Amino acid sequence: MPNLHSFPSTPFIRWFVKDNQSLDRDIRLKLLKGPFTSRAALVAAGMNTLLVCSVAVVLHPTLFFISWLVADMVIWITRWFLLQRFIASGKSRRRYATDLSLLFGLIWAAEIGIGTAGCIISQDPVLQVLACTSAVSMNGAIAMRNQGIPRYAFTQILLTDIPMKLATLFQPEPMLRVLILQAPMYLTGLWVLLNNLNANLTKAYISEAQSTHSATHDKLTGVLNRLGILNMMTALLSSKANGDSVFCVLCLDLDGFKKINDANGHATGDRVLVSFSEMVTRVVRKGDAVARIGGDEFIVLMPDTDKISASLIADRIIKSLEDYTGKNANYEGLGVSIGITETSPSELGSVGQILSRADVAMYNAKSAGKNCFRFG
């Protein structure tokens, strides 16, 4: 499932999500997704705070509590709008969508903290119990929902908790000030919990990424394997079905590889395959995909390209391999036959049909004398 959010753009908001800078970009995006998932959780949080605010207004219809109720409703509606308009709709690529969503999450936490402080100061035991219970439960929800970004989550907890603790200094019951003494243990415990949750979540995402990589990449060369390239081609066909771009597939087969492998041993053959895959990866464009689909056969997928560009790449691959074999006497006779097929939206076909055309073109190149390319 694609990430429906992006990294923050402003330095202020970026600071709150810098807990995992050393990780892969995709993993960091997954860790950031907490505030943008589960609309049900946002609804539940909104109903909870609305209930507390409403009870406060009913019991004490003062300007403070009326303002708290209005502010709570406005902030919740804004957060819901941001989630629906930019994130859930897939329009989060708008530059400040993520920043605004995270910023209003902080404002929401501060609003809860200030309102809870007002309930403490009111000296109403019903409000005090209701507001404190609500704040503590919200902190637990914050820790669970935003465990991927502990710095942001802990800031929300501080904004919720500190005003409540300080408010005990402005009411007459001295025993309530025990909450201030309790604060260091409570906050330390939540910080440890957040970091443990984050560590476990990070390990899970890393394991998932490693498992996916192992399933879609060739263990010897590190390039994509058959499954990996088939997945990419399937995705490309789906995205191009209603588009107007063409793409090319190159089927590569090493000529003379079996002879070299038999004469020099499998270790040498493996080095040839690794060197060839690295050479092809250097030659192709940044957005192209290279795969080893078995033995000495490779595939290059070139999105948004045509026969002319594909033929230039094929020619570079052939010449690069000639340079490689020229510097290694043991690899004399090694070459590459390349079959190229161009696919347009009007003749997409299936992945199997496209690969079959490229394969036939590759055998035509072999029949034409090897170490050349032909179109299918």
Length of the chain: 376
Does residue 77 sit in the same domain as residue 46? yes
Q: Model pTM greater than 0.85?
A: no
d(CA 34, CA 3): 11
> pLDDT tens, 103-150?
999 999 999 999 999 999 999 999 999 999 999 999 999 998 899 999
Residue 259 sits in a domain whose CATH number is 3.30.70.270
d(CA 213, CA 24): 13
pLDDT of amino acid 329: 74
> pLDDT tens, 278-307?
999 999 998 899 999 988 999 999 998 888
Report the half-sphere exposure of 14 (CA within 13 A, side-chain side): 9
d(CA 334, CA 129): 81
Give the total number of structural domains in the chain.
2
CA 230 vs CA 78, 240, 284, 304: distances in Å: 43, 15, 18, 17
Mean pLDDT of the residues in the chain: 89
pLDDT of amino acid 1: 45
Does residue 197 sit in the same domain as residue 59? yes
Does residue 336 sit in the same domain as residue 240? yes
Q: Is residue 114 part of a domain?
A: yes
Domain that holds residue 310: 226-375
Does residue 235 sit in the same domain as residue 164? no
pLDDT of amino acid 61: 96
Q: Is residue 118 part of a domain?
A: yes
d(CA 302, CA 309): 9
Higher pLDDT: 169 or 21? It is: 169
Does residue 362 sit in the same domain as residue 231? yes
Query: Which contacts qualify for 218-221: CB closer than 8 Å, 24 or more apart?
Result: 218/277, 218/291, 218/292, 220/270, 220/273, 220/274, 220/292, 221/273, 221/274, 221/277, 221/278, 221/292
Confidence category of residue 351, pLDDT binned at 50, 70, 90: confident
> pLDDT tens, 65-75?
999 999 999 99
Give 250's DSSP letter.
Answer: E
Confidence category of residue 40, pLDDT binned at 50, 70, 90: confident
pLDDT at 88 over 70: no
